[in-house]
Amino acid sequence: MSTGARLFRQTAGPTAASVRELERPSRSELVYQKLRAALESGELRPGQRVMEVEVANWLDVSRTPVREALRRLESEGMLTLEPRMGLVVASISRQAMLELYVMREVLEGTAARLCARHASDPELTELDELVKREARLQGNHKVLARHNRLFHEAIHRGAHNRYLEKSLNAVNDTMHLLGPSQMLIPERAALAQTEHAEIFECIRRHDAEAAEAAARKHVRSAQKQRLKNLFPEA
């Protein structure tokens, strides 16, 4: 019998308690998720200082998990280290924003095209339900902001391409630097609902080219509104 075999025979398996402990998110992960949510909601805005001690007091945790979470966000480009200021929420220039939307248009268009080709019946049903629910949620803008993400994520999954989904996640992480969701703007929320319904109808018909065109139009529409909000003088 090999040494490895003897080791596994002699070593007791993991207890239910130890498995639960492994599955439980670390304090650092919880702090990270809280800060990500604050970035997504606009509670933390570009240029705003993020101080370790203030975050620790806010979340009632020690400074060690806060430090780990802040390092992670800095490595992802969500925070930057500025002279005489320390860590601040990263800002994004007009040119960088335009470049970001170019990539988002390409990726979202590709996702819609692949979703029209590959989405399963349950995935189409999910999209149908999301579109119908979005129509009922008009006016509830905070809920719509999350619902908007759910709709796009459902399309990403329906594309059945793990590398595309990974690229979309990276772009969407950077999108958070642009501030709060535009679904908080009533006019944009209403227009987005119409655009989402159009995208889904193309996907439902398995019209890949039309789905891509509708998704690209949707992203260009969002870019136009974002430019108006962030750079009104341009």
Residues 6+ apart with CB under 8 A from 78: 36, 39, 89, 90, 173, 176, 177
93: burial class by Cβ within 10 Å (0-12, 13-18, 19+)?
A: exposed
**pLDDT over 80 (residue 143):** yes
Note the pLDDT of residue 183.
84
pLDDT at 94 over 50: yes
The structural domains of the chain, ordered by start, are 26-89 (1.10.10.10), 94-230 (1.20.120.530)
Q: Are 90 and 177 in contact (CB under 8 A)?
A: yes
User: How would residue 146 be classed by pLDDT, with cut points 50, 70 and 90?
Assistant: confident
**What is the predicted pLDDT for the residue at 3?**
45
